[in-house]
Amino acid sequence: MWPVILRELRAGSRRWTTYWLRLLAAFAVVVTIAWWLSTPKIVFVRQPGGEVFLQMHRVILAAIWIVVPLMTADCLSREKREGTLGLLFLTNLRAWNIVFAKAIATGLTALTLWLSVIPVITVPVLLGGLPASEIVLSCSLVLGSICLALAAGMIASAASRRISGAVAIAIVFSFVGHLIFSVLVTELGQWLPAFPFRIPNVSDSETPIAAGFFIIWNLYLSEALVGLATTSRTATPITLPVMLIPILSFLISCTVALLAAFIIHRNWQDKPQTKRQTEVEKFFCAPVFLTGLFRWWMRRSLDRNPIGWLEKRSWNGRIAAWIWLAIMISFASALAYSAASRTDFEGYNVLMWMLLVSIAYVAAGSFRRERETGALELILVTPLSERQVILGRLRGLWNQFLPTFAIWIAVVLYLSSALKDWQVASLIRFTVAYFVVPVVGLYFSLRSRFVLLSWFATLAACFALPQMLWWPLHIYLDELQMGADPFLRFRQPFLIGAQLALAALLLWRLRTNLVRRSFSLR
Amino acid sequence: MTALNSLDLTVQRGDLFGFIGSNGAGKTTTLRILATFLAPSAGQAYVLGHDVVRDADAVRHVIGYMPDFFGVYKDMEVTEYLDFFGACYKIPTAQREKTVADVLELVGLSEKKGALIGALSRGMQQRLGLARVLIHDPQLLLLDEPASGLDPRARIEMMAILQELQRMGKTIIISSHILSELQTLCNRVAIIEKGRLIYTGPVQGVTQQLSETRVMWAKVPPEQHVRAIELLKARPEVRAVEELEERLKVTLQTHDTDPSIISETLVQGGVKLRGLREDEIGLEEVFMRVTKGETQ
């Protein structure tokens, strides 16, 4: 097991992403502190130290549940794709050795991410009002989260061979793990009298999904969980039940890791598709209706835009588009059906955010296959210009999700008069984002060999960077005292302008990189 | 790092040109420059009169580039893959179907036209790569290690296809490590090392130009070996004489030295000369002699 751990750690130490992730983690926490302290409207209900620590804790916990499963998602599936898993099985290693070695190596990397933010924690300690019990509780929640998030990523990696599949499963399992963890913490609070914190019970009238969200939400927002101790300004003593959180999480994650080992033990060998699998795939994935029209449409698409055709030709690409269309229609119908949510613009916004995150993932992995197989080199020596290659791919991405986006626009415009907090600026911003995200994603898909990194970079560049640019301007406007709501007057135009400027810059850089061939091949 | 240094090379139309060099010598870089994939930092390269940097679009229409990897979409069908590249080369739809069928026929893959690429063997994928190269009927083919990793039968078949293409009037530049095959296949070769050109010219002339001396094997009766060695060593044109395997290995001072002096000397000295032939060294031996195995 040690050789695998050492190999993983050595490989990780050579990856520049490991260093930058640590830096980014610390930076995110610093930004959170700075933002929290500089926001003028916030009234501290607690002492500043406790308040700032609570925000830091939320950021760290959210980052763990997002980053760790994704970081782990490809560790076994990559070995399967590259054929190295079989080589490991030819040695004396057992399946559980490999899984635990990978989990330990990834867990250590996750721990170093957490350790990198620990120096920043001195800030709330120095600010005052932060008892030791709160730090201990936060640490136990973080450790427990790391264990379960690792397990979620590991089982996803064992179950899938393709990176996109592994990532999708990891996201689902991350949510499930999140829920399990929240329930675990809640139940500990219910059962053990010595447990120092209480979480409000879920109302009986809530639906199961809403209840799940409520429980998870408590993990981050409930005053009862983190910070209750300081509202009374008395330090709660550290009790043993708090330590049960990481211990129980560790045991659960070990069980899940054993399950992952069982799965890879069964499916590590390349096996041809069974007759039944082929039949099922053919039944569900081959076009059945209007096949003549479908062939004509695909041929026309190939003639007009061969690079865009690559996005449409695979059944999984088409399925992604259709699934999103179905989700949009279902959610839009559900929102419109419910009298309470019909007028809630936020609900429609969440749908759009989810769509944009999906588009970012597809765009961030757009050039990956061409680079891995070397097809990009072949495409670039055809008479297609770099501009045609970029525009072809962009048109392919835009067209793939256009029906979903069009439905969203249509529903929102139809209900606009009834929507609360309705803003034309938001609509324009989402429309701009719809066109900008594929541009930025395409740039990072060429820039980085790692899909997940490209994905994060795309999301950060499209959404976090404009916000960060807005922040100092916001403070400046506030200092000028430009009316009561400078935030609302300038924010949306600024964010839209920043996104457009960024997209123009990255489009130019993308073309330059393609022309100069300044990207790593295969 | 300089990949290519003062490389001055001309390939004539219709040549089947072998490009030889160690790993890292600069062969792939040269082919990538000619294929317009890379731009040279200095110097010029022309393909059929078109500058590869300024007139890259025109160059791309007349070349077919096959890199040392497959570059295939494994989940595509064979015809689908060729159809895609046909569309990239802007071949009209009506013409594309026939062209795909023709190139598949040429490379012997007609029976596999509906197969998934991932299900093809390595040799078949290599043939598919060649079919892709031919889809737009290019005049110049740039083939980087087209026979690497193929079994003997597939390699022989690949070479036969290349000879057929040469007969069809294509100019072919082929980089390969299998020098014995290049020797029989190519009419001209170039040898490069550390980005510098060591030799370019006809295959037949490579041994003459690259060997300083000329080696001849003389067959004389064993009892006359001593006498023959004395006679030959007395000639200033002869550098060395050795007795090996009941024959005499005579090394002449230069490659231009007329080998008939050996027969004249021996016959005039009363030695019975039963045979005289020139030492034939292969491309592999020449390559080993002239290169030092240095890479960049």
Of the residues A381, A384, A514, A521, the best mutation for testing chain B's interface (the one with the most B CB atoms within 10 Å of its CB) is A381
Strand positions, DSSP E, chain B: 16-21, 46-47, 50-51, 63-66, 140-144, 171-175, 188-193, 196-202, 214-219, 238-244, 247-252, 275-278
> Residue B130: in which H helix or E strand, if any?
helix B122-134
Q: Which tokens in the block code for residue B274? A: 């039963």
Cβ–Cβ contact A302 with B under 8 A:
yes
Please tell me the class of the B16-208 domain.
Answer: alpha beta
Are the Cβ atoms of A378 and B90 closer than 8 angstroms? Answer: no
A481: left (phi over 0), alpha (psi -120 to 50) or beta: left
Contacts with A521 from chain B: Cβ below 8 Å = none
How far is residue A216's CA from residue A177's CA, in Å, rounded to a whole number?
Answer: 10
**Res B103: pLDDT:** 92
Q: Which tokens in the block code for residue B182? A: 């290049």
**Res A207: pLDDT:** 57
User: CA torsion angle for A262, A264, A270, A276 (degrees, to 10)?
Assistant: 60
**Res B179: pLDDT:** 81
- Helix residue spans in A338-423 (DSSP H): 339-342, 345-364, 368-373, 375-380, 386-414
Cβ–Cβ contact A299 with B under 8 A:
yes
Nearest by CB: A377 against B37, B60, B93: B37
Contacts with B61 from chain A: Cβ below 8 Å = 383
Average pLDDT over every residue of B39-43: 87
> Residue A516: in which H helix or E strand, if any?
helix A486-516
How far is residue B129's CA from residue B146's CA, in Å, rounded to a whole number?
Answer: 9
Residues 364-383 of A with CB under 8 A from B: 369, 373-375, 377-383
C-alpha dist (Å) from residue A39 to A46, A120, A129, B82, B279: 16, 19, 19, 59, 90
Are the Cβ atoms of B67 and A377 closer than 8 angstroms? Answer: yes
Are the Cβ atoms of B67 and A369 closer than 8 angstroms? Answer: no
Q: pTM for the whole thing? A: 0.76
B295 to chain A, closest Cα gap in Å? 21
Are the Cβ atoms of A383 and B61 closer than 8 angstroms? Answer: yes
B146 pLDDT higher than 50:
yes
Whether B182 and B106 have beta carbons less than 8 Å apart is answered as: no
A79 to chain B, closest Cα gap in Å? 19
Are the Cβ atoms of A382 and B89 closer than 8 angstroms? Answer: yes
A13 to chain B, closest Cα gap in Å? 26
Nearest by CB: A384 against B69, B72, B88: B88
How would DSSP label each residue in B271-295? ----EEEE----HHHHHHHH-----
Cβ–Cβ contact A298 with B under 8 A:
no
How far is residue A251's CA from residue A468's CA, in Å, rounded to a whole number?
Answer: 40
Contacts with B126 from chain A: Cβ below 8 Å = none
Q: Which residue from A369, A422, A496 is spatially nearest to B76, judged by alpha carbons? A: A369
Q: Amino acid identity, residue A445?
A: S
Q: Which residue from A116, A109, A126 is spatially nearest to A60, judged by alpha carbons? A: A116
**Res A184: pLDDT:** 79
How far is residue A11's CA from residue A19's CA, in Å, rounded to a whole number?
Answer: 12
How would DSSP label each residue in A108-159? HHHHHHHHHHHHHHHHHHHHS---HHHHHHHHHHHHHHHHHHHHHHHHHHHH
Are the Cβ atoms of A381 and B63 closer than 8 angstroms? Answer: yes
A323 to chain B, closest Cα gap in Å? 21
- Across chain B, mean pLDDT equals 86
**Res B293: pLDDT:** 64
How far is residue A101's CA from residue A2's CA, in Å, rounded to a whole number?
Answer: 7
Of the residues B88, B128, B134, B141, the best mutation for testing chain A's interface (the one with the most A CB atoms within 10 Å of its CB) is B88
Kind of pairing, strands B50-51 and B46-47?
antiparallel
> Which CATH number is B212-280's, of 3.30.70.100, 3.40.640.10, 3.40.50.150, 3.40.50.970?
3.30.70.100
Q: Which tokens in the block code for residue B150? A: 């193929």
User: CA torsion angle for A295, A297, A300, A302 (degrees, to 10)?
Assistant: -70
Cα nearest neighbour of A378 on chain B? B71
Tally C-beta pairs within 8 A across A and B: 64
Kind of pairing, strands B63-66 and B140-144?
parallel
Whether A381 and B37 have beta carbons less than 8 Å apart is answered as: yes
A440 to chain B, closest Cα gap in Å? 24
- Structural domain spans, chain B: 16-208, 212-280
DSSP summary character for residue A463: I
Nearest by CB: B60 against A369, A383, A522: A383
Provide the 10 A C-beta neighbour count for residue B234: 10
How far is residue B10's CA from residue B51's CA, in Å, rounded to a whole number?
Answer: 14
Contacts with B94 from chain A: Cβ below 8 Å = none
Please state the ipTM of this predicted complex. Answer: 0.76
B198 pLDDT higher than 80:
yes
Provide the 10 A C-beta neighbour count for residue A45: 11
Contacts with B35 from chain A: Cβ below 8 Å = 381
Q: Which tokens in the block code for residue A285? A: 């994935």
Residues of chain A predicted below pLDDT 50? 224-235
Cα nearest neighbour of B84 on chain A? A306
**Res A154: pLDDT:** 93
Are the Cβ atoms of A373 and B71 closer than 8 angstroms? Answer: yes
Q: Which residue from A439, A493, A488 is spatially nearest to A466, judged by alpha carbons? A: A493
> Residue A245: in which H helix or E strand, if any?
helix A240-267
- Structural domain spans, chain A: 2-267, 293-516
B131 pLDDT higher than 60:
yes
Cα nearest neighbour of A316 on chain B? B75
Q: Which tokens in the block code for residue A403? A: 């029906």
A14 to chain B, closest Cα gap in Å? 23
Q: Amino acid identity, residue A172?
A: V
A371 to chain B, closest Cα gap in Å? 9
Cβ–Cβ contact A512 with B under 8 A:
no
Average pLDDT over every residue of B160-177: 89
